Amino acid sequence: MRNDEIARVLQEIADMLEMTGENFFRVRAYRNAARTVQDYPAALSGLSREQIDALPGIGADLAEKIATLAAGGEVPLHARLKKTFPAGLLELRSLPGLGPKRIKLLHDRLKISGLADLRRALAAGQLGAIGGFGPKSEERLLKALEARGAEPAEKRWPRHEAAAVAHELLEWIKAARGVENVAIAGSLRRGRETVGDIDLLAAATDAAAVMKRFLSFEAVERRLGAGETKASVVLRGGPQVDLRVIDSESWGAALVYFTGSKAHSVHLRKIAQGAGLLLNEYGLFRGKRRLAGADEDGVYKALGLHFIPPELREDRGEIEAASGRGHLPHLISAGDLRGDLHAHSNWTDGRATIEEMARGARARGLEYFALTDHSRRLAMAHGLDPARLREQRKEIERVADRVGVRILRGIEVDILDDGALDLPDRALAELEWVVASVHSRLGEDEKAMTRRIVRAIKNPNVDSIGHPSNRSIGKREPSHFDLAEVLKAARDEGCALEVNSQPDRLDLTDTDCLAAKHAGVKLVITSDAHSPRDFDGLSGGVLQARRGWIEPGDVFNTLPVDALLSRR
Ligand code: DGT
Ligand code: CA
Ligand code: CA
Ligand code: ZN
């Protein structure tokens, strides 16, 4: 079983236990375990029983259940609970304000065991008759049911789109009277691949002026609420934006608070409590005395922690690392990349000539890039056969001379259905950089997909695996493969895995990056550019890698080109 599937079972157990009125601590143990499993950076199915026992906060009983699930077995408790509660009951959890307790109430009092039942009960006005469901919650539920099917439960926005408008807004707000500081907070600051909404924070002497300026932003479509120090709006065709205005003395504490994540903040507050302190968005206090709050660094320091980069603030071990028990990574930054190792030209499906791409790369300070057009199976993209590949070599040499940037002769070769490659080894051996990617039969079962990728990795000509999961954020689910097995093969063969920076790919994910690092597998961060401006996208891949704790030494294209090539 994959980690997310194990986590789902644990979460279901927690919810169903809560419906049976089980005690709070037992329910919470399952909840916490679900989260630990969800966030664990490698496949639990690859761990020994001892390693599972050693997971933080997981006792022997839970460890045994996790081990059983990881091995593909069934947990009797889960099966028993599922018999008690109809499947539709669990589906109700996705509605606003419906937690296990209230679902239980609906079930017991009105025999509601699914969405259809709930619709009927609402239409008949039955909810008012039982305690805890006022007209407001009825209305909310009706609305949510109406919205069903039309839109996913929670719409999320691609990070790069949200980032663009957020920066415009920042500039806009800066011009208000009395502004001392403005910043992006929330998941956008943490660099998550999608964001639920945009969170902004301002420090100002005149909150009213800032509010007025915010609400007059040209793209504001609707106000959701506007008070003296907070406001929420919806942008035209875009996300919601929350703004909070605070005093400068609270700037750092508020940044910590509104950057989150919630899990990170909860953990920080626990540390504060342990030291007899109070941490909130206004500062860190002992009694009435403010120990810190004006800057983030000071807040962390007063808690006995090193500063934690926002990308790490997910409570995945960063707080332990910042306390000196481990060590925080020295995260990679965009300036560490010397080259790019995945780019296309109009010889296949790119939109620019090799020369335009070369000039684009040079203009962005790249010392080298690999030209990796598609191989012949992608007929749609006019994929290259060995003859055109030889022809392209001449053009590359001509352009490289003229433009003065190193162009590695490369290919993005298709991994065929059986894991063989789309070009003969002879042709691949002539090249300086070979990316192998799956572009067909993406929905294949996990075993077959794992076999395909591993076979490609074992071809000694292959330098990296392109966009390993083939997901498209919000559009196409990732392919299933056994990450642990792929990582093992990649480490044995010295093959890199790609972090593809295309905004809708961002593939590997952040936690996959961390798993690769733990497994001793190197990464490449690439633009997969189809035009010169796509090279700018590299920073998005770097952000993704930072969320995965990646350091410069983990990434091949931080190397000078000679060092890169001599490792082959
Ligand atoms: P999102 O918008 O779903 O992508 O994720 P976030 O992390 O931006 O979440 P959001 O917008 O609900 O809240 C922004 C930050 O504010 C969040 O990261 C932490 C903080 N925050 C929000 N609600 C709570 C809360 O109930 N408790 C605590 N401690 N912090 C909260
Ligand atoms: Ca947010
Ligand atoms: Ca928010
Ligand atoms: Zn591709």
- Does residue 261 have its Cβ closer than 6 Å to ligand 1? yes
Those residues whose beta carbon sits under 5 angstroms from the ion ligand 4 are 437
Is 262 domain-assigned? no
Q: Is the pLDDT of residue 454 over 50?
A: yes
Residue 35, in any domain of the structure: yes
**Which of 517, 524, 494, 561 has its CA nearest to residue 412?**
524
Q: Give the end-to-end CA distance of the chain in Å, rounded to a whole number.
A: 35
Q: What's the number of domains the chain is made of?
A: 4
Helix (H) or strand (E) holding 456: helix 446-458
- Prediction pTM value: 0.76
Q: Where among 122, 148, 174 does a domain terminate?
A: 148
pLDDT for the residue 149: 54
In a shared domain, residues 356 and 321: no
Identify residue 280 by its one-letter amino acid code.
Answer: N
Write the CB contacts of 128 (distance below 8 Å, at least 6 apart in sequence).
134, 135, 138
Please give the Cα distance from 106 to 130 (Å, whole number). Answer: 8
Q: What are the phi and psi torsion angles at 68 (to 5°)?
A: -60, -50
Last residue of a domain, one of 216, 246, 276: 246
- Nearest bound ligand to CA 413? 4
Q: In this structure, which ligand is nearest to the CA of 262?
A: 1
Same domain, 347 and 386: yes
Q: Could you report the per-residue pLDDT of 361-415, keeping only the tens digit for each?
A: 999 999 999 999 999 987 777 899 999 999 999 999 999 999 999 999 999 999 9
Q: Which residues sit with Cβ closer than 5 angstroms to ligand 3, an ion? A: 197, 199, 242
Largest CA distance in the chain: 81
Please check whether residues 499 and 537 belong to one and the same domain.
yes
Residues 58 and 183 occupy one common structural domain: no
Instruction: Assign residue 225 the CATH number of its domain.
Output: 3.30.460.10
Q: What is the pLDDT of residues 28-78, one digit of tens each?
A: 899 989 988 988 888 898 888 888 988 888 888 999 999 999 988 889 999
Closest residue by CA, ligand 1 atom 28: 262
CATH number assigned to the domain comprising residue 273: 3.30.210.10
Half-sphere exposure of 548 (CA within 13 A, CB side): 31
Looking at the CA of 260, name the nearest ligand. Answer: 1
Q: Are residue 142 and residue 162 in the same domain, yes or no?
A: no
Same domain as 177, residue 115: no
Q: What CA–CA distance (Å, rounded) separates 7 from 304?
A: 32
Q: What gap in Å lies between CA 434 and CA 465, rounded to an integer? A: 9
CA 169 to centroid of ligand 2, rounded, Å: 15
For residues 169 and 307, membership in a common domain is answered with: no
Q: Please tell me the number of Cα atoms within 13 Å of 419 on its side-chain side.
A: 15
pLDDT at 387: 95
Pocket flag, ligand 1, residue 195 (CB < 6 Å): yes
Report the separation in Å between the CA atom of 235 and the middle of ligand 3, taken as the mean of its atom positions. 14
Atom of ligand 1 nearest to the CA of 266: 29
Q: How far apart are the CA of 551 and the centre of ligand 4, in A?
A: 25
Q: How far is the CA of 339 from the centre of ligand 4 (A)?
A: 18
Boundary (domain end) residue, out of 325, 343, 364: 325
User: By mean pLDDT, which of 83-87, 260-264, 338-342, 554-558 is the weakest?
Assistant: 83-87
The domain in which residue 88 lies consists of 3-148
pLDDT band, residue 154 (cuts 50/70/90):
low
If 0-12 CB within 10 Å is exposed, 13-18 middle and 19+ buried, where does residue 54 land? exposed
Residue bearing the CA closest to ligand 1, atom 9: 186
pLDDT (average), residues 463-474? 95
